[in-house]
């Protein structure tokens, strides 16, 4: 929603200011200029990226929707779920959570948190590492190295759309100049027209420069920046899970393990220690775990 609001404000400010200053929007409607700029940018994007990067860029919208929900309530659910799983594993054994991990949607623990079940990144990370802890004996530093490597690879892959969009935004002003130059060439080639028509043709040609710059810094660059922000949100969430799991592996009780995970969050989404304790020992925790 915020990205749409921001793009609308930029659009309304530029074109609204132009109209208020006495300009007419009619001359700005140059579909052929837009075709040249957009087509050149699209062609360059396809030529510069492989299939993986193109698919990741086109699928970045789903990342917007998912990680935009990583708010305080989401992290309360996340830490509450981890408290439930770790408490069950500590009270019974790691094997006791194997059924929860194998079929999360039928698990009495996971089913309390539908938002988490709908997030494949959360679900995959949690189930994979619990399954690893159940299957093999692993030291804390070995697990930490493995998780750090996975998070690093996730960041590299998630940055592909942002990198591709930034490169497009860098090239759009140049494509706008190309379109403008071609328009000027067309105008100067029409030697048999009067000065009034010649002026209109040159004005239409200059719209290409405007469109290239506006699309670069008013549309594509903000989208690339948003992808980076959403990647940072997802990475922060993974580090929260990482710290919590490492704390458990080092023998720290579940209540303190989720407290360590809480410390990995930004202050804007981080619940207070008291809020988290009330949540995991109250309605947010599985019945019976408060006395574990």
Residues 189-242: tens digit of each pLDDT:
876 777 778 888 888 888 999 999 999 999 999 989 988 888 888 999 999 999
Per the structure, the count of domains in the chain is 1
In the predicted structure, residue 151 carries a pLDDT above the cut 90 = yes
With respect to residue 267, please indicate whether it lies within any of the assigned structural domains: yes
Of the candidates 237, 235, 226, 233, the one whose C-alpha atom is nearest the C-alpha of residue 60 is: 226
* Domain, as residue range, for 205: 34-291
With respect to residue 13, please indicate whether it lies within any of the assigned structural domains: no
With respect to residue 167, please indicate whether it lies within any of the assigned structural domains: yes
CB atoms within 10 A of CB 282: 10
With respect to residue 145, please indicate whether it lies within any of the assigned structural domains: yes
Give the three-class secondary structure for 142. Answer: helix
Q: What is the pTM of this model?
A: 0.81
**In the structure, what pLDDT confidence band is assigned to residue 292 with cuts at 50, 70 and 90?**
very low
* 32-43 residue pLDDT tens: 999 999 999 999
With respect to residue 19, please indicate whether it lies within any of the assigned structural domains: no
Of the candidates 234, 246, 241, 249, the one whose C-alpha atom is nearest the C-alpha of residue 125 is: 241
With respect to residue 1, please indicate whether it lies within any of the assigned structural domains: no
Of the candidates 113, 100, 111, 224, the one whose C-alpha atom is nearest the C-alpha of residue 166 is: 224
pLDDT at 260: 93
Which two structure tokens, joined as six digits, stand for 224?
A: 């690339």
Of the candidates 109, 107, 74, the one whose C-alpha atom is nearest the C-alpha of residue 241 is: 74
With respect to residue 41, please indicate whether it lies within any of the assigned structural domains: yes
Of the candidates 79, 128, 93, 120, the one whose C-alpha atom is nearest the C-alpha of residue 284 is: 79
Question: Rounded to whole angstroms, how far apart are CA atoms 229 and 3?
Answer: 12
């Amino acid at each position: 929603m915020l990205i749409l609001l921001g793009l609308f404000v930029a659009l309304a400010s530029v074109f609204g200011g132009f109209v208020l200053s006495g300009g007419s929007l009619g001359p700005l409607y140059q579909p052929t200029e837009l075709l040249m700029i957009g087509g050149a940018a699209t062609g360059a994007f396809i030529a510069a990226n492989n299939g993986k990067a193109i698919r990741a860029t086109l699928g970045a919208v789903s990342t917007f929707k998912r990680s935009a929900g990583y708010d305080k309530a989401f992290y309360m659910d996340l830490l509450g779920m981890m408290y439930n799983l770790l408490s069950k594993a500590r009270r019974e054994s790691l094997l006791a959570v194997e059924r929860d991990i194998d079929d999360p949607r039928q698990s009495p623990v996971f089913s309390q948190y539908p938002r988490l079940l709908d997030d494949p990144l959360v679900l995959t990370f949690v189930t994979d590492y619990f399954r690893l802890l159940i299957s093999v004996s692993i030291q804390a530093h070995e697990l930490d190295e493995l998780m750090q490597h996975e998070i690093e690879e996730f960041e590299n892959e998630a940055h592909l759309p942002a990198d591709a969009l930034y490169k497009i935004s860098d090239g759009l002003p140049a494509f706008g100049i190309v379109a403008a130059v071609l328009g000027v060439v067309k105008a100067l080639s029409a030697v048999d027209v009067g000065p009034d028509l010649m002026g209109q043709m040159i004005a239409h040609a200059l719209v290409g420069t405007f469109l290239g710059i506006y699309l670069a810094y008013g549309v594509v660059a903000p989208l690339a920046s948003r992808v980076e922000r959403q990647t940072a949100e997802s990475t922060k969430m993974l580090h929260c899970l990482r710290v919590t799991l490492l704390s458990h592996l080092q023998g720290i009780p579940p209540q303190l393990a989720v407290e360590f995970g809480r410390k990995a969050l930004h202050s804007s989404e981080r619940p207070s220690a008291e809020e988290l304790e009330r949540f995991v020992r109250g309605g947010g925790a599985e019945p019976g775990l408060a006395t574990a």
